[in-house]
A and B are shown apart, each in its own frame.
Chain A
Amino acid sequence: MAITEERPPLELTSGDLPPVEVETLGVFHRPRSTHGWASWFTTVDHKKIGIMYGFASFFFLLVGGFEALLIRTQLAVPGNKLLSADLYNQVFTMHGVTMVFLVVMPLAAAFANYLLPLQIGARDVAFPRMNALSLWVWLFGAIFFNTSWFLGGGADGGWFNYAPNSGVVFSPSHGIDFYAVGLIIMGIGSTVSAVNLTVTVLNMRAPGMTLMRMPVFTWMTFIVQVLLVFALPVITVALLLLTLDRMFGATFFDASAGGDPFLWEHLFWIFGHPEVYIMILPSFGIASEVLPTFSRKPIFGYPFMVGSGIAIGFMGWGVWAHHMFASGMGPISVLAFSLATMFIAVPTGVKILNWMATMYGGRLRFTTAMLFSIGLVAMFTIGGLSGVTHAFAPMDTQQTDTYYIVAHFHYVLFGGALFGLFSGIYFWWPKIFGFFLNEKLGKWHFWLMILGFNLTFGPMHILGLQGMMRRTYTYTEGQGFNGWNLVATFGAYLLAVSILVFIWNVIRSYRAHRRNPVNPGPDPWDARSLEWMIQSPPPEHNFDEVPVVEDFDEFWHRKYGHDEQGRPVRIAATEDVVQKGDATGVHLPSPSYWPIVLAAGLPLIGYGVIFNLWWALPGVILMVAGIYGWVLEPSTDPSAGHGHDDDHHHDGDDSDAAALDEPADAGTADGDGEGVDADGSETAAEPEPAMATASAEAQDGGSK
């Protein structure tokens, strides 16, 4: 069972240089600072990286939201001339791509980066520098993609960009070039991040944290990373072929030269359908954390929650062609994919029922986070039901490319994914920043958003069934579309107002916090998982001592026991259970500027591929320099005063392959048989002062 590495690494001593002497490539000294604005560019701290993911993707949410408002304004009245047909094509394409790849995915990645190590009791991810790399690659790719607006116009083929519209004949501008190359770049970032987080979940868990004790959010994020690992290469192939078609004269998707436009559709949707679950599962995970906390009940049917997540992940690979029912692929294929699609509704339904069962009989607290999670359950159910109607091929043929489809996927991706992400923002904000968001404004935000959302996308069901086609820049008087379109546009502006309320909430709450800092304490919601066991905001090293986990909802079980009726009874004060955040002698990976250098090379190569290959040369040089600088630099700066980093260490109860299938025995929590019993009463023996009044600054200082 215990597979600790007892053998020291084989070191090949060679040459005359003693191993401690390190020369690194570069003209700058290695960055040391972990404070100040400059430290954000060199940080390898998963928490800072998560925050940067969050802010960057929120910025793109505003960009994509602005594009959405343009669309809705154009469609408010028939025959509108605000946008030309060409500009309209660009705006809806950029809106779609932005919302999928620049908002929902990275916002989920923000939570994944921030919370995953905390929830499994780790000090950082498995490869901290690669984590920074994936952030910068994604961010530079996203900026690269959006610069197309200033270099000849955005992509105009729709987010799924079917051939032949994606060919140079029908789209002569550089927009789709930016789409192809930009998504390849972002895909590289996501692949690196997905491999990193997969390894983190498998390898970096605290002692006793078996797979079946991981919080549901961690589980869902883990499934998402696995899906990303396997789905991204497929879209990379498609985008590579598209790039070769558009810029190097190949004819992969050109039917007049024997190419097959179907190939694009298949490759795109083999990626695209897992992508749908990549976007929604993190929000499912967030709701599965929020609902139990504010119901004061454990999640109902934890194994079924995990199992249904895995089932969704598996089955998501077998349903892609339901996006192509109208493409004429033959009755047997349609039948097979239609059946598979109907089946995938089952695990999703399991989740919905489990959430409701979690709330049933619970002591509910309707905080903003809770409201958003309930909103997710309700809105996603509507979107799921309209999704099942697409599984029936005859009905789907009728609905394809109408606003009914638009309504459906906004109900699952906005009403589902984005509501869940907002729920997570309200839930973890005090943990991440050390102050609460205003609950009153938060509730305004929620009610405005859910009202605006339903006003915008609800009518689209009707419009679609009446035959209004999506991706058409206008409609005429007398088609009967006027009324509902006006309502939808009104709803869209209401959504914009709700986002403004959110921004105002952040500003106001921050100002109030600056005037009168009140720390929410480590556990403001009386929550259940490990991240609430440390201070808010968490110290840089996360855990003073790596917790030994003995239960699902470990932190809850440290606070509460059960009476005879099974009701929770407090057995320990929160202040006694939480960690103080004052550990010393914890060595963390040192900051590094190589990730951002390496990442900066990629967009340069991208411009080179699009405009002139020679321009790619500086990008290649930058990347090669970045890679060699990276390799030659040890992950921990030896001259920073520490001999080694033990950002993660534990021994014993290591679940090897066998433990993946069954929860490991908690009794073996310490393989070396030391420490457990002696430390058993440690928390009780050392009561700590209540943390609720300690200021954020004090804790920050304590972590050094």
Chain B
Amino acid sequence: MSATIDVDDDSPVHPGEHHDHGPSDGTYWKVFWALVFITALEVSTYFWDVWFGESSWTFAVPLLLLLMVVKFVLIASVFMHLRFDSKLLTRIFYFGLATACIVYLAALSVMNIFTDNGNPWFNDPPPAVTPSAVVTGEMPAGGMGG
């Protein structure tokens, strides 16, 4: 995004000074249309299995996550002015976000939601419990990476 910054006051601009004025209305509209387009793309994945078949989900999930991140960053950087404000704000916010992602992903991993915890019912679809797995006493994998 090449955001234009309105410099319409005559205060001296010090190097590193962050300008309080955000982008112009036009920039906001452009970003908005980009967000609308991304949202439309996101919603379209809902119909992919009809259009392209079941296997398209393999691509849809990473794409959805990617688009989610792009939307998130766009709104945070432009609408919330992170790009134009002090770096400190960016650090504080993304530090909180990173903390949230790391601790919760770790906790969910420990609770085996991304992996097979050996419990045939708490995953969907239930993994096949073969007699051999029971007989050999195969250990379920622990968490991934703790």
**Complex interface residues of chain B between 1 and 54 (CB less than 8 A to chain A):** 9, 11-12, 14-18, 20
Interface-located stretch among A35-43, A330-338, A618-626: A330-338
What's the Cα separation between A1 and B143 when bound, in Å? 47
A12 CB within 8 Å of chain B: no
CB distance A657 to B86 under 8 Å? yes
**Complex interface residues of chain B between 80 and 121 (CB less than 8 A to chain A):** 86-88, 91, 96, 99, 102-103, 106-107, 109-112, 117
Instruction: State the Cβ distance, B13 to closest chain A Cβ, in Å.
Output: 10
CB distance B111 to A3 under 8 Å? no
Interface-located stretch among A73-81, A260-268, A507-515: A260-268
Number of A interface residues, CB 8 Å?
A: 32
CB distance B103 to A270 under 8 Å? yes
A518 CB within 8 Å of chain B: no
B146 CB within 8 Å of chain A: yes
> Which residues from B are CB-within-8-Å of A263?
111
A352 CB within 8 Å of chain B: no
**Complex interface residues of chain A between 663 and 684 (CB less than 8 A to chain B):** none
What's the Cα separation between A238 and B96 when bound, in Å? 18
> Which residues from B are CB-within-8-Å of A3?
14, 17-18, 86
Instruction: State the Cβ distance, B97 to closest chain A Cβ, in Å.
Output: 10
What's the Cα separation between A266 and B102 when bound, in Å? 13
CB distance B11 to A331 under 8 Å? no
Name the one of A6, A262, A321 contacting B11, with C-beta atoms under 8 angstroms: A6
What's the Cα separation between A332 and B91 when bound, in Å? 32
CB distance A657 to B91 under 8 Å? yes
CB distance A332 to B142 under 8 Å? yes
B129 CB within 8 Å of chain A: no
What's the Cα separation between A3 and B111 when bound, in Å? 47
B141 CB within 8 Å of chain A: yes
What's the Cα separation between A6 and B17 when bound, in Å? 11
> Which residues from A are CB-within-8-Å of B88?
202, 656-657, 660
Name the one of B12, B87, B144 contacting A657, with C-beta atoms under 8 angstroms: B87
Interface magnitude class on chain B = 20 to 34
What's the Cα separation between A2 and B14 when bound, in Å? 8
Q: Is the interface of A mostly helix, strand, loop or mixed?
A: helix
CB distance B145 to A317 under 8 Å? no
> Which residues from B are CB-within-8-Å of A29?
none
A329 CB within 8 Å of chain B: yes
A567 CB within 8 Å of chain B: no
CB distance A332 to B107 under 8 Å? no
Q: Mark B114-134, 1 if CB is under 8 A from A, else 0.
A: 000100000000000000000
What's the Cα separation between A266 and B110 when bound, in Å? 9
What's the Cα separation between A201 and B112 when bound, in Å? 40
Name the one of A2, A202, A329 contacting B110, with C-beta atoms under 8 angstroms: A329
CB distance A336 to B145 under 8 Å? yes
Chain B, Cβ-Cβ closest to A7:
B11
A230 CB within 8 Å of chain B: yes
> Which residues from A are CB-within-8-Å of B144?
332
> Which residues from B are CB-within-8-Å of A640?
none
- Given A1-B14, A656-B16, A335–B91 Cβ distance below 8 Å? no
What's the Cα separation between A333 and B106 when bound, in Å? 9
Which of A202, A263, A266, A333 gathers most chain B CB within 10 Å? A333
> Which residues from B are CB-within-8-Å of A229?
96
> Which residues from A are CB-within-8-Å of B15?
1
CB distance B107 to A330 under 8 Å? no
> Which residues from B are CB-within-8-Å of A657?
86-88, 91
What's the Cα separation between A330 and B96 when bound, in Å? 28
CB distance A317 to B110 under 8 Å? no
A685 CB within 8 Å of chain B: no
CB distance A337 to B20 under 8 Å? no
CB distance B9 to A7 under 8 Å? yes
**Complex interface residues of chain A between 469 and 495 (CB less than 8 A to chain B):** none
> Which residues from A are CB-within-8-Å of B141?
330, 332
> Which residues from A are CB-within-8-Å of B86?
3, 656-657
Instruction: State the Cβ distance, A223 to closest chain B Cβ, in Å.
Output: 13
Instruction: State the Cβ distance, A312 to closest chain B Cβ, in Å.
Output: 15
A698 CB within 8 Å of chain B: no
Q: Mark A1-40, 1 if CB is under 8 A from B, else 0.
A: 1110011000000000000000000000000000000000
A658 CB within 8 Å of chain B: yes
Chain A, Cβ-Cβ closest to B87:
A657
What's the Cα separation between A333 and B108 when bound, in Å? 11
18 A-B pairs besides A318-B106, A321-B146, A330-B110 with CB distance below 8 A are A1-B14, A3-B18, A234-B103, A260-B111, A262-B111, A317-B102, A320-B103, A329-B110, A330-B141, A330-B142, A332-B141, A332-B146, A333-B142, A336-B143, A336-B145, A337-B146, A656-B88, A657-B87
B positions within 8 Å CB-CB of A = 9, 11-12, 14-18, 20, 86-88, 91, 96, 99, 102-103, 106-107, 109-112, 117, 140-146
- Closest 7 A/B residue pairs (Cβ): A336-B146, A330-B142, A332-B142, A333-B143, A657-B87, A266-B107, A657-B88
What are 29 A-B interface contacts by the 8 Å CB criterion? Answer: A1-B14, A1-B15, A1-B16, A2-B14, A6-B11, A6-B12, A7-B9, A229-B96, A230-B96, A266-B107, A270-B103, A317-B102, A320-B103, A321-B146, A329-B110, A329-B111, A330-B110, A330-B112, A330-B141, A330-B143, A332-B141, A332-B144, A332-B145, A332-B146, A333-B146, A336-B145, A656-B16, A656-B88, A657-B91
